[in-house]
Amino acid sequence: MIDLPRVVITGIGLTSPNGNSLAEYRKNLLAGVSGVQPYEIRYFGKTLAGICDFDALRYQKRKEVRRGTRAGSIAVFCANETLADAGIDLETRDRNRVGIYIGTTEHGNVETEAEVFNISQYGYDCSYWSHHHNPRTVANNPAGEVTLNLGIGGPAYCLGGACAAGNLGLIQGMQMLQLGQVDLALAGGVSESIHTFGIFASFNAQGALATHADPTKASRPFDTARNGIVVAEGGALYTLERLDDALARGARIYGEVVGHSVNSDATDFVLPDSDGQNRCMRLALESAGIEPGEIDVLSTHATSTPSGDTVECRAVREVFGDEPRVHVNNTKSFIGHAMGAAGALELAGNLPSFEDGVVHATINVDDLDPECDLRGLVLNEPRRIGEVEHVMNMSFGMLGINSAVVVKKYHRG
Amino acid sequence: MTPEEVVVAIKDIIQTIAPDEEVDGLDMNERLRDQIELDSMDFLDIVMELRKLYGVQVPEEDYKELGTLQGCVDYLGPKLADKELHCASRA
């Protein structure tokens, strides 16, 4: 086993449909406040979405917002917020030693659809196609916009990992710190997906888009009446540092990233696979050097689709069985599926459990599906469980990509 | 469009493209890029807005004619003479 430096989380910047800071987000997760609202988008029409209301102009000029992308604005907001939260002033740092690693489910659909609509207003004359299209749609756009905003000169790029991407950003940031390539990593995931009609139309065509008379009840993982995904936007970026660096500057430490894994089902374009998810969870536990029974909070990926939740619950049951310490929850029931940001946001909402000993619930479960009746499921109301030592966060995506991260409470001294 | 309206039209486009800039006090003869923050991408936006709003095509070799407000009036005046003023920022 290679002896790699330990990596800790020292800052969190986020925007979620139900909060624009960790404190607001956590408060609403504990209070059962949803961020899902009625929404309407070109061509597709009326639907539901998790919509963020952060102030983009807090860190960007109006021209930068106009020129860039929504994903770029989300990333810039989260990057500035995470640095402020970590108490880091880049003026005192070598900006060439700062890296940015942002997971995205997809990027470019929003901007391409907008340009096609734009030229449709001019008889599809391509001379009306914007010169901004390429810089807006390149896969590194969100990370690149952060470098421009903060003058960061280190390695900065995005990781395309479908809905497993939020964990990928975190894992990449950790590895770059361990390899000594950077001294500071801003890592996580972002999503602008609610601004592409295609994602709604495609989920709808697949029979996987949620509907409900009450928007706040539409995302209901594990409920018998669940009928699909609520698409959401958002982002979360973590400040990651090597433990020694964090200790040297007296940083507050949210937790230590002790385990992770990424694997592939290799079975289907869309359908998840219990075996692949099972392997992913076991690999993450193995890399953390712990047993399943040592996980206190298990943050599920469940998206509120009839088949996806069942498949995931089977995998969780196989790995964790009846372990008494494991508590299971789900964040999408509050905010919908934030795609590339999902993994990063879902982990963030659970990290305060290290301090308050409370597990936030899975809301909207009125009639628990027997196939999703996992031991330790925290339903509808948060539960105080006392000391929390390990949080495990799972994120899965299309084409069979699975990711898991294990974060451990940091004990000083 | 009168020459005065051409100035209004150009200032309005600039305001849309560079919303953080103050355009009211722009000097007619000083280079626009020396007065406000405008880069080459912004300049392409100006040309695009002229095309969209007024159907005016500005070939690349003529971009230099649009360096100042007075240059815009001189170059665009004849092309916009029979066009109605639109204000993009208020559209």
**CA dist., res. A113 & res. A43, Å (int):** 11
Question: Which domains, from first to last, does chain A contain?
Answer: 7-248 (3.40.47.10), 258-408 (3.40.47.10)
Whether chain B has a CB inside 8 Å of the CB on A127: the answer is yes
Chain B partners within 8 Å of A130 (Cβ): 48
Give φ, ψ of A59 to 5 degrees. -125, 0
Q: Which residue among A63, A122, A130 sits closest to B20, beta carbon to beta carbon? A: A63
H-state helical runs in A179-273: 197-205, 243-248
Q: Pick the catalytic residue: A52, A78, A158, A163?
A: A163
pLDDT for res B88: 63
Whether chain A has a CB inside 8 Å of the CB on B59: the answer is no
pLDDT for res B64: 94
Whether chain B has a CB inside 8 Å of the CB on A375: the answer is no
Task: Say which residue the tokens 């040592």 belong to.
Answer: A294
Residues B52, A128: C-beta atoms closer than 8 Å = yes
Q: Which residue among A61, A128, A131 sits closest to B44, beta carbon to beta carbon? A: A131
Q: How many residues does chain A have?
A: 413
**CA dist., res. A48 & res. A229, Å (int):** 10
pLDDT for res B91: 45
Residues B44, A127: C-beta atoms closer than 8 Å = no
Q: Which residue among A66, A128, A132 sits closest to B51, beta carbon to beta carbon? A: A128
Cα angle, residue A402 at apex, residues A399 and A403 outer, rounded to 5°: 145
pLDDT for res A412: 86
Q: Pick the catalytic residue: A301, A327, A360, A390?
A: A301
A99-125 pLDDT per residue, tens: 999 999 999 999 999 999 999 999 999
Give φ, ψ of A137 to 5 degrees. -105, -10
Chain A partners within 8 Å of B17 (Cβ): 63, 66
Residues A66, B20: C-beta atoms closer than 8 Å = no
**CA dist., res. A148 & res. A146, Å (int):** 5
| For range A188-199, the mean pLDDT | 98
pLDDT for res B15: 95
A237-278 pLDDT per residue, tens: 999 999 999 999 999 999 999 999 999 999 999 999 999 999
A68-80 pLDDT per residue, tens: 999 999 999 999 9
| Mean pLDDT for chain A overall | 97
pLDDT at A1 over 70: no
H-state helical runs in A250-305: 274-288
| For range A208-223, the mean pLDDT | 98
Evaluate whether A104 touches A142 at the Cβ level (below 8 Å). yes
Q: Of A172-176, A208-212, A351-355, A409-413, which range is least confident?
A: A409-413
A121-180 pLDDT per residue, tens: 999 999 999 999 999 999 999 999 999 999 999 999 999 999 999 999 999 999 999 999
ipTM, 2 dp: 0.92
| For range A3-9, the mean pLDDT | 96
Residues B51, A61: C-beta atoms closer than 8 Å = no
> What's the start-to-end Cα distance of chain A, in Å?
25
Whether chain B has a CB inside 8 Å of the CB on A62: the answer is yes
Residues A132, B41: C-beta atoms closer than 8 Å = yes
Q: Are strands A98-104 and A156-160 parallel, antiparallel or unpaired?
A: parallel
Whether chain B has a CB inside 8 Å of the CB on A63: the answer is yes
Q: What is the mean pLDDT of each run of 10 residues along chain B (91 residues)?
A: 95 95 96 95 96 95 96 97 81 45
CATH code 3.30.420.40 for B3-83: no
Nearest CA in chain B to A127: B48
A58: left (phi over 0), alpha (psi -120 to 50) or beta: alpha
pLDDT for res B89: 60
Residue A390 belongs to what H/E stretch? strand A390-397
pLDDT at A413 over 80: no
Residues B48, A62: C-beta atoms closer than 8 Å = no
**Tokens matching residue B90:** 């208020």
pLDDT for res A201: 98
Active site residue A301: yes
Chain B partners within 8 Å of A67 (Cβ): 41
Q: Are strands A231-232 and A45-50 parallel, antiparallel or unpaired?
A: parallel
Whether chain B has a CB inside 8 Å of the CB on A132: the answer is yes
Give φ, ψ of A179 to 5 degrees. -80, -5
Entry pTM: 0.97
**CA dist., res. A101 & res. A103, Å (int):** 7
Cα angle, residue A290 at apex, residues A249 and A23 outer, rounded to 5°: 45
Contacts of A176 (CB under 8 A, 6+ apart): A99, A101, A155, A182, A185
Distance from CA of A222 to the nearest CA of B (A): 47
A346: left (phi over 0), alpha (psi -120 to 50) or beta: alpha
**CA dist., res. A16 & res. A22, Å (int):** 9
pLDDT at A356 over 50: yes
**CA dist., res. A188 & res. A148, Å (int):** 18
